[in-house]
């Protein structure tokens, strides 16, 4: 009888040991589901790194060349096509063409058509933000001197208790008037012909300037600037408004 009890006890101990070893082996392994979850998390971190989304929402990058297809290292550049594109936007002005060629020589990514598209976008944002008195939105688009002028005008308007009611209708024309490369800095002067509905009201709500029922044609001449002197500088695609002048 005692021998039978010892045998049963021994068998129970063996079963217990096997169970413990089995449990340890399971706890020390990842299931296929665990692996899949970890892989999904890694892919998500690659798509959304911690630095993504940094910066101001109001920064407008005046684009260079369209990038619908990835660039191929060593791929030949259609120089003739690029030259024709520069001449197209220079509109027969050799001085403008020479300036655009100089800019593109230092920054091969530069494309005048894409620049104009970005400049039009920046123009609308700046005009609209100035009318709204949104100094924060202007900060990333203007040079220090121009920002000071715009800010002073907004402050004076607010001190008088005036406000602008404005509707940006659209841009009818946007042309390059001047282009130059000086000490590694690209400067491009644009003429914008736009349409606005604008009216300024005083504290009492009386219209003191403009007409809220009339579309006005507005012509502005603005100069944008961008440092392209080094590869590091060229990595920043943003242009800033550095000068404004009245159309003659």
Residue-by-residue DSSP string for 134-151: -HHHHHTTB-HHHHHHHH
For residue 139, count CB atoms less than 10 angstroms from its CB and return exposed for 0-12, middle for 13-18, buried for 19 or more.
middle
Q: What is the pLDDT along the chain (248 residues), one digit of tens a residue?
A: 444 455 555 555 555 555 544 444 444 444 455 445 544 544 444 344 443 334 334 444 554 444 433 333 333 456 788 888 899 999 999 999 999 999 999 999 999 999 999 999 999 999 999 999 999 999 999 999 999 999 999 999 999 999 999 999 999 999 999 999 999 999 999 999 999 999 999 999 999 999 999 999 999 999 999 999 999 999 999 999 999 997 76
pLDDT for the residue numbered 83: 87
Is-contact 64 115, C-beta < 8 A? yes
Q: How far apart are the first and last CA of the chain?
A: 120
Give residue 170's pLDDT. 98
CATH topology of domain 79-246: Nuclear Transport Factor 2; Chain: A, (3.10.450)
pLDDT at 174: 98
Give domain limits for the chain: 79-246
- Which residues is 243 bridged to in the sheet? 223
Query: Residue 61: its pLDDT value, please?
Result: 53
């Amino acid at each position: 009888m005692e021998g039978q009890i010892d045998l049963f006890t021994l068998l129970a101990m063996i079963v217990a040991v096997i169970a413990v070893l089995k449990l340890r082996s399971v706890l020390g392994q990842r299931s296929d589901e665990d692996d899949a979850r970890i892989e999904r998390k890694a892919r998500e971190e690659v798509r959304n790194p911690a630095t993504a989304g940094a910066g101001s929402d109001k920064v407008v990058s005046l684009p260079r060349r369209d990038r619908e297809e990835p660039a191929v290292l060593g791929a030949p550049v259609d120089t003739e096509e690029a030259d024709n594109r520069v001449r197209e936007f220079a509109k027969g002005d050799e001085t403008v063409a020479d300036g655009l060629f100089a800019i593109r020589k230092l920054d091969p990514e530069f494309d005048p058509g894409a620049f104009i598209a970005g400049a039009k976008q920046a123009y609308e944002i700046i005009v609209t933000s100035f009318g709204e008195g949104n100094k924060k939105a202007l900060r990333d688009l203007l040079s220090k001197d121009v920002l000071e002028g715009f800010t002073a005008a907004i402050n004076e308007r607010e001190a008088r208790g005036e406000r602008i009611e404005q509707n940006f209708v659209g841009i009818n024309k946007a042309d390059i008037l001047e282009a130059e490369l000086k000490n590694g800095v690209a400067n491009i002067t644009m003429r914008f012909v736009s349409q606005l509905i604008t009216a300024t009201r005083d504290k009492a709500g009386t219209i003191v300037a403009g007409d809220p029922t009339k579309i006005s044609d507005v012509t502005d001449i603005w100069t944008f600037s961008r440092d392209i002197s080094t590869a590091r500088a060229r990595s920043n695609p943003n242009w800033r408004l550095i000068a404004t002048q009245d159309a003659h």
